[in-house]
């Protein structure tokens, strides 16, 4: 009767080797839920009909001819979970407290797409890839510097009589922008400090902070999400604050997940974002470490939430027509943060 | 499991979102179970090994649609395995290239003990399978998941994508069928006598043979499939 019983269990032959090979295979396997990949196009010109609509665009390589499976998959329930992971990862970052006279160094790549629309159809599209290195003043009182591909160096120094004088001189000399001499920065700058201070310390208060620090004609929930994205992208937050900010973002209505994203730098990512009025805005995270990788915007015609609109919203109407002419998934803007660090000086490259 | 050990759900969600390490951890957790289930369905260790790879490749391929319901990925894996085994050629064809890159599914021939133990096991498993083949496929699948793999009704329902009520009815049909089969020749005993588990040799652990009863002289194979409560 023993022959009616399965023999004892045994282990896989070469369990570890099978696992490792399996993981190599999964890395190469095409995904069912395809992500928009970036395709480059061109800067376009207004055609005939006069109604020139320029929008910034990038398109999934699957393109329109695809079978619908090429469109990004958006899953509503999991955004909180993804943001929780991002929050946890942020909380584990080293707690660097930069001095006011230091700089937030950020190296990035971005691509903007410009579409030209003739009537209801896109007729041309161009884009420009831009590499950029920035040194933003931690306290906003020191001149920051920005190096861009094809543009050279530019001082970042607002509301400074010193810099205004430099600009006026350059203009008079016909050279355009003041020539940058890193040893002689303009003085008396009053820029937005790169480091955000005075942030609340609870999730609920952080959420309120996002809503209170938002302006614009968008619904409050949309604006709060935009503010969150802008803050994370352009400024330095202590790890604890960044962690809270991601937590708070998880409570903003209409935030959904896009999986299997490939960013401008070719990195795999997972994104959370909001879709409103023809545009989806997303923050992209590394799917393993949940480090912030960058953000992007693309055309999407289905709002991710029934956002209560502000009573009068003239601006939203005006922009709606532009994206309406573009196919779902058309990328408008993509930004990949490549390196972030704190430096003592401008033009200093961190290790 | 300490409280920091991630659940299957957590690992799966991370894996699905692109964290390979999490998928590797799920493989470590469940590969042996899947492997042995595949062996029990095929009586071939090397086929079982290939099928196991295909099960995980398929699970990965379909990750957009997988959401474990019970907190464990195992029912889903059993479900994929059942499909892969039922539709072997298609599954294998899809992953043929990947399979060709997998480590060889046989133990090194110089490990004579391992090789012969595996051969013995294959022979024994073939005899076991011959007995269950008398059942219709769907009933057989439910029975095997219930009795050999010890899944509960809800897990079987999740694995096979059927209602728990269907699991119940298939199971009882399968049991009834086994009782009928067990009364057919060569068995001379009436069904009622066949139900109590009579003396199996020691080692019949999975089916908890009663101890101390005299050795059974009548070959009554299918009896072994009857779960305890029905005997």
Mutate to test the interface with B, among A26, A287, A291 (most CBs of B within 10 A): A26
What is the per-residue pLDDT for A335?
94
How high is the mean pLDDT of chain B? Answer: 77
Residues B55 and B42 in one domain: yes
In a domain, A239, yes or no: yes
Per the domain annotation, does B154 fall within a domain?
no
Asked if the C-beta of A68 comes within 8 angstroms of chain B's C-beta atoms, the answer is no
* CB spacing of A5 vs B64 below 8 angstroms: no
With respect to residue B155, please indicate whether it lies within any of the assigned structural domains. no
Contact with chain B for residue A15, Cβ under 8 A: yes
pLDDT of A334 strictly over 50: yes
**A274, A256 contact by CB (below 8 A):** yes
Query: Is B103 in Cβ contact with A10 (below 8 Å)?
Result: no
> Are B121 and B191 in the same domain?
no
Cα–Cα distance for residue pair A211/A223, rounded to 1 Å: 7
Residue B145 reports pLDDT greater than 90: yes
- Does residue A39 contact residue A107 with C-beta atoms inside 8 Å? no
pLDDT of residue A299 exceeding 60, the answer is yes
DSSP code, position A200 = -
The verdict on B108 and B190 lying in the same domain is no
Q: What average pLDDT score do residues B194-201 get?
A: 34
pLDDT for A30? 65
Q: Is A151 within the bounds of a domain?
A: no
Q: Which residues of B touch A256 (CB under 8 A)?
A: none
Distance separating the N- and C-terminal Cα atoms of chain B: 35
Tell me the pLDDT band of B191, cut-offs 50, 70 and 90.
very low
Domain annotation covers residue B72:
yes
If one compares B155 and A58, the residue with the highest pLDDT of the two is: B155
Chain A residue with the nearest C-alpha to that of B19: A288
Residue B190 and residue B114 share a domain: no
Is B56 an 8 Å CB contact of chain A? yes
Other Cβ atoms less than 10 A from the Cβ of B105: the count is 21
**Does A14 score more than 70 pLDDT?**
yes
CB A148 within 8 A of CB A130: yes
Residue A316 scores a pLDDT above 80: no
- Two structure tokens written together for B133: 């083949």
CA angle A78–A19–B52, rounded 5-degree value: 90
The beta-carbon neighbor of A3 closest among B36, B60, B124 is: B124
Q: With 50 as the cut, is the pLDDT of residue A206 above it?
A: yes
Q: Are A166 and A185 in contact (CB under 8 A)?
A: no
Give the β-pairing of A103-118 and A54-55.
Answer: antiparallel
Spell out which residues of chain B touch residue A32, defining contact as CB-CB under 8 Å: 61-64
Q: In this predicted structure, which of A92-106, A175-189, A317-331 has the lowest mean pLDDT?
A: A317-331
Determine the residue of chain A that is closest to B225 in CA distance.
A4
Whole domain around residue B65: which residue ranges? 1-133
Distance from CA of A249 to the nearest CA of B (A): 19
Q: Which residues pair with A281 in a beta bridge?
A: A274, A297
Residue A117, strand partner residues: A122
Q: How far is CA B187 from CA A1, B1, B208, in A?
A: 13, 47, 21
Q: What angle do CA B95, B100, B102 make, to 5 degrees?
A: 95
Determine the pLDDT at residue B114: 87
CA atoms A299, A284, A126, A136: torsion sign = positive
**Residues of A with Cβ-Cβ distance to B231 under 8 angstroms:** none
Mean pLDDT of B37-46: 93
User: What confidence category does residue B38 fall into, taking pLDDT thresholds of 50, 70 and 90?
Assistant: very high
Number of domains in chain A: 1
Instruction: Say yes or no for a CB contact (<8 Å) between A6 and B203.
Output: no
Shared domain check, B199 and B105: no
Q: Which residues of A touch B143 (CB under 8 A)?
A: none
**Nearest-CA distance A31 → chain B (Å):** 7
Asked if A225 and A295 touch (Cβ cutoff 8 Å), the reply is no
Confidence of residue A310 (pLDDT cuts 50, 70, 90): low
Helix (H) or strand (E) holding A219, with range, is none
Is B6 touching A (CB cutoff 8 A)?
no
Other C-beta atoms lying within 10 Å of the C-beta of residue A237: 18
Average pLDDT of every residue of chain A: 80
- Domain co-membership, B86 together with B5: yes
A3 touches chain B (CB under 8 A): yes
- By C-alpha distance, the chain A residue nearest B20 is A23
Give the distance from residue A6's alpha carbon to the nearest chain B alpha carbon, in angstroms: 6
Q: Which member of A10, A15, A26 has the closest CB to residue B60?
A: A26
Q: Match 């004609």 to its residue by tokens.
A: A217
- Alpha-carbon distance A147 to A135, whole Å? 9
Which of B103, B117, B194 is the best residue to mutate to test the A interface, defined by the most A CB atoms within 10 Å of its own CB?
Answer: B103
Cα–Cα distance for residue pair B117/A327, rounded to 1 Å: 61
B166 burial type by CB count under 10 A (0-12 exposed, 13-18 middle, 19+ buried): middle
Task: Check whether residue B124 and residue B141 sit in a common domain.
Answer: no
**B131 has a pLDDT exceeding 60:** yes
Average pLDDT over residues B131-150: 90
Residue A186 maps to a domain: no
Cβ–Cβ < 8 Å for B216, B198: yes
Q: Chain B contact for A73, CB < 8 A?
A: yes
| Statement: residue A317 has pLDDT above 90 | no
State whether residue B129 sits within 8 Å of chain A by CB.
no
Return the pLDDT at A311: 58
Q: Does B111 touch chain A (CB under 8 A)?
A: no
CATH at residue B127: 1.10.1740.10
CB contact under 8 A, B64 and A32: yes
Higher pLDDT, B75 or B196: B75
CB A133 within 8 A of CB A147: yes
| Residue with the larger pLDDT of the pair B92 and A199 | A199
Using 50, 70 and 90 to split pLDDT, how confident is the model at A295?
very high
Domain containing A228: what range?
Answer: 54-140+192-343
| Number of independent structural domains in chain B | 2
pLDDT of residue A287: 93
Please check whether residues B4 and B115 belong to one and the same domain.
yes
**Residue A6 and residue B53: Cβ atoms within 8 Å?**
no
Instruction: Name the phi and psi angles at A271, rounded to 5.
Output: -120, 150
List pLDDT tens digits, range A221-276.
Answer: 999 999 999 999 999 999 999 999 999 999 999 999 998 899 999 999 999 999 99
| Residue at B198 is within a domain | yes
CA distance A272 to A250: 9
Is B101 in Cβ contact with A25 (below 8 Å)?
Answer: yes
pLDDT at A119: 66
Higher pLDDT, A33 or A338: A338
Asked if B114 and B140 sit in the same domain, the reply is no
Contact A13 B98 (CB under 8 A): no
Q: B18 and B114 share a domain?
A: yes
Per-residue pLDDT tens for A22-40? 998 888 776 544 333 322 2
Contact between B143 and B174 under an 8 Å Cβ cutoff? The reply is: yes
pLDDT: which is higher, A122 or A288? A288
Minimum mean pLDDT among A222-226, A278-282, B207-211: which range? B207-211
A5 vs B224: CB contact, 8 Å cut-off? Answer: yes
Q: Give dist(CA A98, CA A341) in Å, integer.
A: 10
Q: Averaged over A303-320, what is the pLDDT?
A: 63
Contact A288 B18 (CB under 8 A): yes
pLDDT of res. B122: 93
Cβ contacts of A210 within 8 Å, gap of 6 or more: A224, A225, A227, A228, A245, A248, A249, A252
The pLDDT tens digits for A33-80 are 433 332 222 222 222 222 223 222 222 333 333 333 333 444 444 899
Tell me, yes or no, whether A183 lies in a domain. no
**B73 plus B143 within the same structural domain:** no
Helix then strand then coil, in percent of chain B rounded to 5, is 65, 0, 35
Task: Tell me what pLDDT residue A332 has.
Answer: 87
Binned at pLDDT 50, 70 and 90, residue B19 comes out as: confident
Residue A160 lies in a domain: no
Position B156 in a domain:
no
User: Measured between alpha carbons, how far is residue A257 from residues A267, A295, B119 in Å?
Assistant: 17, 13, 49
Phi, psi of A99 (to 5 degrees): -80, 160
- The confidence score (pLDDT) of residue A44 equals 25
| pLDDT-based confidence at residue B13 (cuts at 50, 70, 90) | confident
CA distance B89 to chain A (A): 19
Is the pLDDT at B200 greater than 80, yes or no? no
* Greater pLDDT, B51 or A217: B51
Pairing of the two strands A331-343 and A103-118: antiparallel
B121 and B226, same domain (yes or no): no
B161 vs B198, higher pLDDT: B161
Which chain B positions have a beta carbon within 8 Å of A293's beta carbon? none
pLDDT digits over B57-108, tens only? 989 888 877 777 778 899 999 999 998 888 777 767 778 888 888 888 877 7
The span from the CA of B75 to the CA of B80, in Å, is: 9
The pairing of strands A279-285 and A268-276 is antiparallel
Whole-number pLDDT of residue A281: 94
Cβ of B52 within 8 Å of Cβ of A12? The answer is yes
Q: What pLDDT score was predicted for residue B95?
A: 83
Partners of B40 on chain A (C-beta within 8 Å) are 6
What's the pLDDT at B100?
83
Q: Is the pLDDT of residue A11 over 60?
A: yes
Q: At residue A314, does pLDDT exceed 60?
A: no
């Amino acid at each position: 009767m023993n022959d009616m019983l399965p023999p004892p269990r045994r282990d896989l032959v070469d369990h570890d080797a099978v696992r490792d090979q399996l993981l190599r295979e999964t890395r190469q396997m095409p995904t069912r839920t395809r992500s928009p990949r970036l395709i480059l196009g061109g800067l376009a010109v207004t055609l005939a009909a006069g109604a020139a609509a320029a929008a910034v665009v990038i398109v999934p390589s699957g393109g329109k001819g695809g079978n619908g499976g090429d469109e990004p998959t958006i899953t509503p329930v999991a955004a909180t979970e993804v943001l929780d992971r991002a929050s946890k990862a942020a909380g584990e970052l080293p707690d660097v407290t930069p001095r006011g006279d230091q700089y937030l160094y950020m190296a990035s790549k971005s691509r903007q797409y410009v579409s030209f629309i003739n009537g209801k159809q896109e007729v041309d599209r161009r884009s420009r890839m831009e590499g950029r290195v920035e040194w933003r003043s931690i306290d906003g009182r020191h001149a920051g510097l920005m190096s861009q591909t094809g543009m050279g160096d530019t001082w970042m120094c607002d509301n400074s009589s010193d810099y205004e004088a430099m600009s006026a001189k350059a203009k008079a000399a016909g050279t355009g922008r003041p020539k940058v001499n890193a040893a002689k920065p303009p003085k008396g700058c009053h820029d937005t400090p790169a480091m955000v201070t005075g942030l609340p310390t609870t999730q609920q208060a952080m959420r309120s902070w996002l809503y209170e620090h938002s302006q614009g004609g968008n619904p409050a929930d949309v604006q709060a999400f935009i503010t969150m994205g802008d803050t994370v992208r352009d400024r330095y937050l202590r790890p604890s604050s960044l962690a809270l900010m991601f937590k708070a973002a998880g409570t903003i209505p209409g935030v959904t997940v896009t999986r299997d994203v490939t960013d401008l730098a070719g990195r795999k990512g997972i994104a959370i974002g909001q879709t409103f009025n023809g545009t989806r805005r997303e923050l992209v995270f590394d799917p393993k470490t949940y480090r912030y990788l960058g953000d992007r915007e693309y055309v999407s015609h289905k709002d991710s939430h029934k956002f209560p609109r502000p009573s009068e919203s003239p601006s939203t109407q005006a922009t709606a027509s532009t994206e309406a002419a573009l196919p779902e998934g058309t990328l408008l803007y993509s930004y990949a943060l490549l390196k972030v660090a704190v430096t003592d000086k401008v033009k200093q490259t961190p290790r | 499991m300490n409280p920091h050990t991630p659940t299957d759900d957590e690992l799966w969600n991370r894996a699905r979102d692109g964290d390979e390490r999490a998928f590797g951890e799920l493989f470590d957790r469940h590969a042996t179970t899947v492997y042995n289930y595949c062996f029990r369905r095929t009586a071939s260790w090397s086929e079982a090994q290939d099928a196991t790879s295909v099960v995980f490749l398929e699970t990965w391929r379909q990750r957009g649609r997988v959401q474990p319901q019970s907190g464990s990925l195992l029912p889903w894996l059993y479900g994929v395995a059942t499909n892969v085994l039922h539709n072997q050629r298609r599954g294998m064809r899809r992953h043929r290239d990947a399979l060709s890159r997998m480590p060889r599914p046989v133990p090194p021939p110089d490990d004579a003990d391992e090789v012969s133990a595996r051969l013995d096991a294959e022979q024994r498993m073939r005899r076991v399978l011959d007995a269950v083949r008398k059942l219709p496929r769907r009933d057989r699948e439910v029975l095997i998941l219930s009795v050999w793999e010890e899944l509960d009704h809800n897990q079987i329902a999740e694995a096979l994508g059927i209602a728990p009520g269907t699991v119940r009815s298939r199971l009882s049909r399968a049991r009834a069928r086994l009782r009928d089969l067990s009364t057919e020749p060569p068995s001379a005993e009436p069904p009622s006598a066949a139900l109590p588990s009579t003396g199996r040799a020691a080692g019949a652990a999975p089916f908890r043979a009663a101890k101390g009863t005299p050795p059974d002289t009548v070959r009554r194979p299918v009896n072994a499939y009857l779960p305890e409560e029905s005997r």
